[in-house]
């Protein structure tokens, strides 16, 4: 079996985070009561990922797959493939758990579903706080952060961080916290370079984790007017050919050389390996500069239905009014997947 040796970046808690992880967001199909046929495929792919050397797994309460993710991790520990201390597990706190004391409730529930004694990293998934019924609770994320500091102190998690915070929110958080976030997870890809945020984080010892690292490059994420590069982009193909790599490998390598962790998601076995085979070549300065030119600020993940809520972190599109939030992003016990609360 092919194996990969994935390097690590140092976090501000002196622990190491592998530079490449496995993402577990499969989407939620309301038509099938959130039961996606990709769950068994994801379990196989994750099992294979651990076998070949992945040691960083990204999940969330929202994704409804914590039990399955935990099952694979525990199976691999039992089989002797990994030890708990050698795998980096991240989960996230959803919108209805933003009160200081609810953070612990959320973290303990994630641990129970994952069947783990601790998490390596817990993130506030988004800065907004919204009830199951879609009511804006307007809770200050500094309050939520105090809850995070508390679960850290109690040893339920080894590190705390945030996701989808913008630069102003990061500056305010860093200025007003006891514990500086270990990590910021944001959308980051060739179209969305996030230079200002990355610079701020790196200057403050905060590790940046890139979600949706392929942006709209891959067919599942493409929309009619989404920008280049796609998988057949001539510039990308040229750089890929020069290094005898694929376009997706060039993309992930670019992020790694910027000091950024990537967490690509794939349920395809061959891609699990492909995405991790990026540590045996180097992009030169010309390549890096050429790739940087694709940055045009385009967002793949733009949840406009949240834009009227307090602390929404992105630019707003005027004139939309309050749009309906998808049920799957609000309600858990709606008759489906009752094992996931
Ligand atoms: P990705 O950029 O990882 O894209 C996933 C898509 O790319 C899938 O359709 C997958 O197909 C395809 N793909 C993966 N590898 C390859 C390859 N080598 N060649 C061609 N296609 C490929 O986007 P995600 O949005 O899934 O982000 C990754 C992870 O980030 C998520 O799983 C989740 O853990 C996290 N995330 C966090 C968010 C947050 O708010 N904090 C928001 C969004 C994501 P297939 O599976 O069929 O192989």
- The CATH number linked to 173 is 3.20.20.100
Nearest CA to ligand 1 atom 11: 266
Q: How far is the CA of 229 from the centre of ligand 1 (A)?
A: 16
Q: What pLDDT, on the 0 to 100 scale, is given for residue 235? A: 98
Closest to 301 measured CA to CA, from 134, 141, 186: 186
Give a yes or no: residue 336 inside a domain.
no
CB within 6 Å of ligand 1 — which residues? Answer: 23-25, 58, 125, 163-164, 185, 211-214, 218, 220, 248, 263-268, 271, 274-275, 301
- Which residue among 90, 197, 221, 265 is best mutated to probe the pocket of ligand 1, counting the most ligand atoms within 8 A of its Cβ? 265
- Which residue among 218, 252, 263 is best mutated to probe the pocket of ligand 1, counting the most ligand atoms within 8 A of its Cβ? 218
Q: How far is the CA of 341 from the centre of ligand 1 (A)?
A: 24
Give a yes or no: residue 275 inside a domain.
yes
Q: Report the number of distinct structural domains present in the chain.
A: 1
- Cα of first residue to Cα of last residue in the chain, in angstroms, is 37
Residue 92's DSSP bridge partners are 123
Closest to 76 measured CA to CA, from 110, 58, 108, 49: 49
Catalytic residues: 63
Residues 283 and 247: beta-carbon distance below 8 Å: no
Q: How far is the CA of 269 from the centre of ligand 1 (A)?
A: 14
Range of the domain at 206: 8-329
If residue 17 lies in a helix (H) or strand (E), which one and from where to where?
A: strand 16-18
Ligand 1 atom nearest residue 211's Cα:
30
φ, ψ for residue 157, nearest 5 deg: -135, 155
Give a yes or no: residue 338 inside a domain.
no
Give a yes or no: residue 337 inside a domain.
no
- CA distances 61 to 24, 107, 116, 162, Å, are 11, 9, 14, 14
- Which residue among 20, 21, 22, 23 is best mutated to probe the pocket of ligand 1, counting the most ligand atoms within 8 A of its Cβ? 23
Give a yes or no: residue 335 inside a domain.
no
pLDDT by residue for the chain (341 residues), tens only, comes to: 899 999 999 999 889 999 999 999 998 877 776 667 899 999 999 999 999 999 999 999 999 999 999 999 999 999 999 999 999 999 999 999 999 999 999 999 999 999 999 999 999 999 999 999 999 999 999 999 999 999 999 999 999 999 999 999 999 999 999 999 999 999 999 999 999 999 999 999 999 999 999 999 999 888 888 999 999 999 999 999 999 999 999 999 999 999 999 999 999 999 999 999 999 999 999 999 999 999 999 999 999 999 999 999 999 998 888 899 988 898 876 544 545 66
Ligand 1 atom nearest residue 213's Cα:
2
Would you give the DSSP letter of residue 20? B
Beta strand 88-93 with 56-58 is parallel
Beta strand 8-10 with 16-18 is antiparallel
Say how far apart CA 321 and CA 155 lie, in whole Å.
43
Ligand 1 atom nearest residue 189's Cα:
2
Say how far apart CA 324 and CA 246 lie, in whole Å.
39
- CA distances 325 to 35, 132, 281, 309, Å, are 19, 10, 43, 11
Q: How far is the CA of 263 from the centre of ligand 1 (A)?
A: 7
Q: How far is the CA of 271 from the centre of ligand 1 (A)?
A: 11
Residues whose CB falls within 8 Å of the CB of residue 114, separated by 6 or more in sequence, listed in order: 59, 66, 67, 69, 70, 73, 89, 91
Give a yes or no: residue 339 inside a domain.
no
Structure tokens at 245: 């790599």
Give a yes or no: residue 314 inside a domain.
yes
Q: ipTM score of the complex?
A: 0.99
Residues 239 and 291: beta-carbon distance below 8 Å: yes
Nearest CA to ligand 1 atom 5: 265
Give a yes or no: residue 285 inside a domain.
yes
Structure tokens at 234: 């001539």
């Amino acid at each position: 079996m092919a194996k990969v040796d994935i390097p690590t970046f140092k976090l501000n808690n002196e622990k190491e985070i592998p530079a490449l992880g496995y993402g577990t967001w499969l989407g939620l199909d309301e038509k099938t009561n959130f039961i996606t046929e990709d769950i068994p495929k994801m379990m196989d792919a994750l099992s294979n990922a651990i076998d070949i050397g992945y040691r960083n797994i990204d999940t969330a309460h929202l994704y409804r797959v914590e039990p399955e993710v935990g099952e694979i991790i525990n199976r691999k520990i039992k089989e002797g493939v990994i030890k708990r201390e050698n795998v980096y597990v991240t989960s996230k706190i959803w919108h209805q758990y933003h009160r200081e004391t609810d953070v612990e409730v959320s973290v303990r529930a994630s641990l129970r579903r994952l069947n783990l004694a601790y998490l390596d990293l817990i993130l506030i998934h988004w800065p907004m706080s919204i009830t199951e019924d879609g009511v804006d609770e307007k809770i200050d994320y500094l309050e939520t952060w105090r809850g995070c500091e508390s679960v850290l102190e109690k040893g339920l998690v080894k590190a705390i961080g945030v996701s989808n915070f913008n630069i102003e929110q990061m500056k305010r958080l860093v200025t007003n916290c006891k514990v500086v976030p270990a990590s910021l997870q944001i959308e980051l890809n060739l179209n969305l370079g996030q230079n200002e945020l990355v610079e701020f984080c790196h200057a403050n010892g905060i590790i940046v984790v890139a979600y949706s690292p392929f942006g709209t490059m891959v067919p599942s994420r493409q929309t009619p007017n989404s920008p280049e590069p796609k998988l057949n982009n001539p510039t990308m193909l040229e750089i890929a050919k020069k290094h005898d790599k694929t376009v997706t490998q060039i993309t992930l390598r670019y992020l790694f050389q910027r000091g950024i962790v990537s967490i690509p998601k794939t349920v395809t076995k061959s891609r699990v390996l492909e995405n991790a085979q990026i540590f045996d070549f180097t992009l030169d300065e010309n390549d890096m500069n050429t790739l940087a030119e694709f940055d045009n600020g385009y967002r793949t993940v733009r949840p406009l239905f949240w834009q009227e809520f307090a602390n929404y972190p992105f630019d707003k599109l005027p004139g939309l009014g309050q749009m309906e939030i998808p049920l799957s992003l609000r309600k858990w016990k709606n008759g489906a997947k009752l094992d996931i609360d």
